[in-house]
Amino acid sequence: DTEVTQTPKHLVMGMTNKKSLKCEQHMGHRAMYWYKQKAKKPPELMFVYSYEKLSINESVPSRFSPECPNSSLLNLHLHALQPEDSALYLCASGEGQGTYEQYFGPGTRLTVT
């Protein structure tokens, strides 16, 4: 399996809801990433996990809570989001060292109402 998969594809949630985004990779990559992408804009890094440990948090509000249960899985727990958090959320994986390219999932289109 040479792809990063993400579920769900689309998510609509209210500002009081709690939901989770899921990401999976089976390429043996040691680093996994969450990005936020607005329309026609580049991805903005949110979190980096290296060897299942959080190594970078780009000052993301606490209403976004990442979790890495094992080396293949990455979750993003969402709670009390705002309408401005509506965006495409991308997961990526990569070796993390030695070779630095990252491989992206298709994203979850999130709408906060």
Which position among 1, 42, 53, 84 is part of the footprint of other proteins (CB under 8 A)? Answer: 42
Which position among 28, 40, 59, 83 is part of the footprint of other proteins (CB under 8 A)? Answer: 40
Site for other proteins contains 66 (CB under 8 A): no
- Smallest distance, other proteins to C-beta of residue 54, A: 11
Q: How far is 65 from 76, CA to CA, in rounded Å?
A: 6
- Smallest distance, other proteins to C-beta of residue 96, A: 6
Which position among 23, 25, 33, 76 is part of the footprint of other proteins (CB under 8 A)? Answer: 33
In the bound state with other proteins, the residue whose beta carbon lies nearer, of 66 and 96, is: 96
Site for other proteins contains 10 (CB under 8 A): no
Q: Which stretch binds other proteins (CB under 8 A): 10-18, 20-28, 41-49, 70-78?
A: 41-49
76 alpha carbon, distance to own chain's centre:
6
